[in-house]
């Protein structure tokens, strides 16, 4: 597929997606989100890809949704358009997804990062959900994911009063994994993703599923899910290989089976 709003490439066992609307500060429109969804679907189906990195470049991650696409839209048009539903493509990716955030990650851009599994940020990163300043609220998971991560009171200030977090603040409140110099961000993100891609693929997918269950559900539901996933992995070739390799003091050879 030829893309017009993103750049897609492979780096080893890592799929790299770069948002590519520099003239619009990578504002998210339907075309970009549809292309991102397709790229993620392709990487999910490709067994030679073990992890994905999403970035926007050094200047900006994504400055929000493209307001021109929705300024005059009615409720019915927005529902029919399914704009925010395109974010759900990230929920269907079983492989680890790393967000490499430099510069502004605002509105939909912040929500896109929040939908990823791991967030690495450069020192210039800024996170915010300014939707109330244009008469709406975050609609692609921002109110839910941010509140789970940083707590009710900071989420209220960010969403109700447009408070932005610097990269250092984001790390302090658990919104990002770590902060890096701008020039090292992409390389470090790719190295992390490559490391994830070298793990036992079925175990990594099961672990991601279990952690997401802990994030989204109750403790009792999470314990049940974790236990079931744990037992199911004993029916895989990778479990046998991994434990045999450990006992034989060698590196395992994963098959994803």
Give a three-class secondary structure readout of 88-131. HHHHHCCCCEEEEECCEEECHHHHHHHCCCEEEEECCCEEECCH
Cα–Cα distance for residue pair 149/120, rounded to 1 Å: 15
Tell me if residue 111 is catalytic.
yes
User: Are residues 190 and 209 part of one domain?
Assistant: no
Q: Are 36 and 210 in contact (CB under 8 A)?
A: no
159 occurs within a structural domain:
yes
| Banded pLDDT at 68 (limits 50, 70, 90) | confident
Angle at 16 between CA 166 and CA 205, to 5 degrees: 90
What pLDDT score was predicted for residue 75?
Answer: 87
Question: Do 14 and 129 fall within a single domain?
Answer: yes
Terminal-residue alpha carbon distance, the chain: 29
The CATH number given to whatever domain includes residue 64 is 3.90.226.10
pLDDT of residue 80: 85
Residues 121 and 238 in one domain: no
User: Which of 50, 100, 103, 131 is the catalytic position?
Assistant: 131
Asked whether the predicted pLDDT for residue 1 surpasses 80, the reply is no
**Residue tagged active-site, from 56, 105, 111, 242:** 111
Q: Is 256 a domain residue? A: no
CATH label of the domain that carries residue 224: 1.10.12.10
Residues 16 and 140 in one domain: yes
Mean predicted confidence (pLDDT) in 118-147: 95
Domain for residue 254, yes or no?
A: no
- Is 252 within the bounds of a domain? no
- 132: Cβ–Cβ under 8 A, 6 or more apart, which residues? 159, 160, 161, 162
Residue 53 has pLDDT above 90, yes or no: yes
For residue 28, tell me if it sits in a domain.
Answer: yes
Asked whether residue 224 is domain-assigned, the answer is yes
Mean pLDDT lowest for which of 101-110, 169-178, 219-228? Answer: 219-228
Catalytic residue among 15, 56, 108, 242: 108
Q: If pLDDT is split at 50, 70 and 90, which confidence band does 70 have?
A: confident
Asked if 183 and 71 sit in the same domain, the reply is: yes
- Do both 147 and 236 map to the same domain? no
149 with 231, same domain: the answer is: no
Domain end, chosen from 180, 197, 214, is at: 197
Quote the pLDDT of residue 83.
78
Tell whether 10 is covered by a domain. yes
Indicate yes or no: pTM above 0.85. Answer: yes
Q: Tell whether 79 and 157 lie within a shared domain.
A: yes
Catalytic-residue membership of 108: yes
Of the candidates 55, 54, 86, 52, the one whose C-alpha atom is nearest the C-alpha of residue 69 is 86
Same domain as 94, residue 17: yes
Assess if residue 225 is contained within a domain: yes
Q: Are residues 132 and 228 in the same domain?
A: no
Same domain, 225 and 144: no
Q: Which domain holds residue 220?
A: 201-247
Residue 86: pLDDT band (50, 70, 90) is: confident
Residue 29 pLDDT greater than 80, yes or no = yes
Q: Please state the domain count of the chain.
A: 2
pLDDT of res. 97? 97
* 127-134: average pLDDT: 95
221 and 125, same structural domain? Answer: no
Please tell me which residue, 199 or 80, carries the higher pLDDT value. Answer: 199
């Amino acid at each position: 597929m030829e893309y017009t709003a993103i750049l897609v490439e492979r780096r080893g066992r890592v799929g790299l997606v770069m948002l590519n609307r520099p003239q619009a500060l990578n504002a998210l429109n339907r075309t970009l989100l549809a292309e991102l969804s397709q790229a993620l679907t392709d990487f999910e189906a490709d067994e030679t890809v073990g992890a994905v990195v999403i970035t926007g470049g050094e200047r900006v991650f994504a400055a929000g949704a493209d307001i021109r696409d929705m300024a005059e839209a009615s409720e019915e048009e927005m529902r029919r358009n399914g704009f925010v539903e395109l974010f759900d493509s990230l929920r269907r990716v079983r492989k680890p997804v790393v967000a490499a955030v430099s510069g502004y990650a605002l509105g939909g851009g912040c929500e896109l990062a929040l939908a990823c599994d791991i967030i690495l940020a450069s020192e210039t990163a800024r996170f915010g959900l300014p939707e109330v300043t244009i008469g709406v609220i975050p609609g692609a998971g921002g109110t839910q994911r941010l509140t789970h991560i940083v707590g009710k009171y900071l989420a209220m200030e960010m969403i109700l009063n447009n408070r932005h977090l610097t990269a250092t603040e984001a790390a302090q409140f658990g919104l990002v994994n770590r902060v890096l110099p701008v020039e090292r961000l992409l390389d470090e993100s790719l190295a992390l993703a490559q490391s994830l891609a070298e793990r036992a693929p079925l175990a990594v997918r099961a672990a991601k599923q279990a952690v997401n269950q802990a994030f989204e559900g109750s403790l009792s539901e999470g314990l049940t899910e974790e236990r079931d996933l744990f037992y199911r992995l004993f029916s895989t070739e990778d479990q046998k290989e991994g434990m045999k390799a450990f006992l034989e003091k060698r590196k395992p050879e994963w098959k994803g089976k």
